[in-house]
Structure 1
């Protein structure tokens, strides 16, 4: 059976093979078009985010300003990123006039599958890196944010030629058909379960992938932490986007000596940010669906609620909720919550809890609040995770000089800034020989000083 998306793929593949996309001018043209689309329709995109799941104004604008900042980075640095990189080679070869050079070339037709929780930012950031690297792009926005997806379907054709960038909307069937095509690169952001589906499909064509997935992100508050700072940053980091953020703190281990004091501050922080009735707060988003609201509400154990606990499934609302003292047997610690329910556990020994966390699937992020450098160094050295913060949460994913991505169950591959350009480029390593100098490394070997011949490589 013919694939309905084959013509789109063929058009982009043919265009890429013309070498047009490899030029600096083509890349800048695409980046400029992306920036204009975002800026000229900012209010519509923000309204769509609110319509889809009640994103507050700050979180709406965040989805516009971050991609435009990424565009600025590539515009300012693109010539340097594209330039050949000369690298050291063995002295013997260098003395005979050889040179080592690394060239960065685009892969080709790239599929970018975006998630619902940041349906603009997490669709466009990978696409911007792909375009800066000289790839054509097929965008697949999340079908669970229909208002936002409709805007992409409307405006992308107005700003891009389809052979450069195009949009495919739909759900599982459309993704399944897309994944049958022999893409040159696939970038997927979403759940680990779907990430495995994407990787299996990519394996059929040996297509390289970046998988930006998720998991329960650990947070540690030790006995030396500034509790006010920790409470504010965890309250915001966990409840932004109603907890539907792949880097949100998933659970908190707090040292038993400061647990009660920390909980009081954490409750106060949540109330200060969202009020005593967060359902009325303009700063608190909704769950993406009734199904997800019901799922997250089911994790709430009434006897462990120290704040919150209410829900309104029809309104897709789950109140910011703190559970204490939680245990690993609780429903909220059996999987990634991806909602505003935060389990908190006391601990007495840092090494013991790190050993527990090391036996869990590797997380996308991790956070530690401490003034004890030995504690900080121990956690960073011993615990494997994608990236994170010390005495902060979430903000590492805003900084283009910090490569972003997961490890193990939380994903593979890094992007943002230079890392994004490098990830979406094939690294072509070249040895440039001297056409006029002979190297005596060829047969017949009898009678030759083999060690001398090989010395040019050392």
Structure 2
């Protein structure tokens, strides 16, 4: 049975092989179209996000503002990013008239598979980088956000030619069919389990991939931390999108000397942000499905609840919940929670807890709240993770100049800004020789000063 998506791939590849997508004009045109698609339809995008899982207004606009900022970055920097880059070579080669140049060329047809939690932003940010780098794009929005996926299907066909950008909707069957095809690049954002499926499929055609996955992200609050600041930023970072952020603080280690004070401030921060009954807050989103609400609710241990603990599976609601004191045996610490249930553990010795964390799968993010530089330096030097913040949470992943991505179980490859352009481009390294200057490194070697000849490479 023929693959239903083969014609889409064939049309985009035929377009790519004309070299049309390599031009500055094509890239700028695609970026302009993307920006118009976002801004012309802002109200429709916001309504779809609210329909899918009750995203509050700030989080709705965030999903439009961030991609618009990424487009602005590429529009302002594209000529420089596309330009051949001179690079140093050994002095001996340079003296004989050679020079090094790095060219960036697009890979080709790129499949971007997006997640549900930020269904506009996390689908379009990789797509924008791919287009800036000169790649046609096939978008696969999450099927668990049906209103947003349907809007993508309608609007992309209005703003883009299908040989440049197109959309495939559907679920597991459609993704399986897409992954059977030999794309030139695949960008996947989602769970580690599905990331392994994507990587296995990509291996069949040796397709390069970026996998932006997840993990149980650690947060450390030491005895020197400003607790009010730490509490506010952790409360927001953990509970925004109802905890459904791949970069959300997954658990907190707090020094025992400030643990009680921190817990009190964290509870107060949650109430300040979402009220005594977050189910009535216009700023608190819902879980993406009843299944996920039930899953996250199952992590709540009543005897450890110091705040929250209520849930309504049918309403896809789980209250912002703090579990304290947690241990590594607790259900909420066996996997990424991906919901508004936060385990908190007291600690006494920093080296001990870093040793524990180092034996866990490498997380996508980590956060440190401290005013002690030696503590900060020790954690950064010892613990491996994709990226993170000092005395802040979550915001690092929206800054163009900070490459974003995971390591190990939390993913591979980095994007955003220049890193995104570079990741979606093949680095073509060239040695440009002078056709008029002799460089005798060829046989026969008898009678030649081999060491002198080889010295041009050092």
Q: TM-score range by the shorter chain?
A: over 0.9
Offset at 1:438?
A: 1.4
Describe the superposition over 1:116-143 as per-residue Cα deviations: whole angstroms up to 9, x where unpaired. 0000000000000000000000000000
Superposed CA RMSD: 0.4
Q: Which residue of 2 is the match for residue 285 of structure 1?
A: 285
CA distance in 2, matches of 1:222, 1:40: 46
Offset at 1:154?
A: 0.2
Secondary structure at 1:112's aligned position in 2?
strand
CA distance in 2, matches of 1:427, 1:401: 20
Offset at 1:381?
A: 0.4
Secondary structure at 1:276's aligned position in 2?
coil
Offset at 1:167?
A: 0.1
Q: Which residue of 1 is the match for residue 69 of structure 2?
A: 69
Is 2:186 the partner of 1:198? Answer: no
Q: Which residue of 1 is the match for residue 257 of structure 2?
A: 257
Secondary structure at 1:385's aligned position in 2?
coil
CA distance in 2, matches of 1:421, 1:366: 25
Offset at 1:96?
A: 1.1
Q: Which residue of 2 is the match for residue 147 of structure 1?
A: 147
CA distance in 2, matches of 1:411, 1:330: 25
Q: What stretches of structure 1 of length at least 5 have no aligned partner?
A: none
CA distance in 2, matches of 1:453, 1:367: 53
Offset at 1:398?
A: 1.2
CA distance in 2, matches of 1:8, 1:31: 21
Offset at 1:159?
A: 0.4
Q: Which residue of 2 is the match for residue 49 of structure 1?
A: 49
Q: Give the 4+ runs in structure 1 shifted more than 2 A.
A: none
Q: What stretches of structure 2 of length at least 5 have no aligned partner?
A: none
Offset at 1:11?
A: 0.1
Q: Which residue of 2 is the match for residue 443 of structure 1?
A: 443
Q: Which residue of 2 is the match for residue 124 of structure 1?
A: 124
Describe the superposition over 1:269-318 as per-residue Cα deviations: whole angstroms up to 9, x where unpaired. 00000000000000000000000000000000000000000000000000
Is 2:195 the partner of 1:214? Answer: no
Offset at 1:29?
A: 0.1
Is 2:167 the partner of 1:167? Answer: yes
Is 2:27 the partner of 1:27? Answer: yes
| TM-score (ref. length: structure 2) | 1.00
**What is the total number of aligned residue pairs between the two structures?**
458
Offset at 1:244?
A: 0.1
Secondary structure at 1:71's aligned position in 2?
helix
CA distance in 2, matches of 1:408, 1:78: 31
| TM-score (ref. length: structure 1) | 1.00
CA distance in 2, matches of 1:209, 1:335: 24
Q: Which residue of 1 is the match for residue 457 of structure 2?
A: 457
Offset at 1:380?
A: 0.4
Secondary structure at 2:124's aligned position in 1?
helix
Q: Which residue of 1 is the match for residue 78 of structure 2?
A: 78
Offset at 1:455?
A: 1.4
Offset at 1:456?
A: 1.2
Q: Which residue of 2 is the match for residue 341 of structure 1?
A: 341
Offset at 1:262?
A: 0.3
CA distance in 2, matches of 1:366, 1:6: 41
Q: Which residue of 2 is the match for residue 105 of structure 1?
A: 105
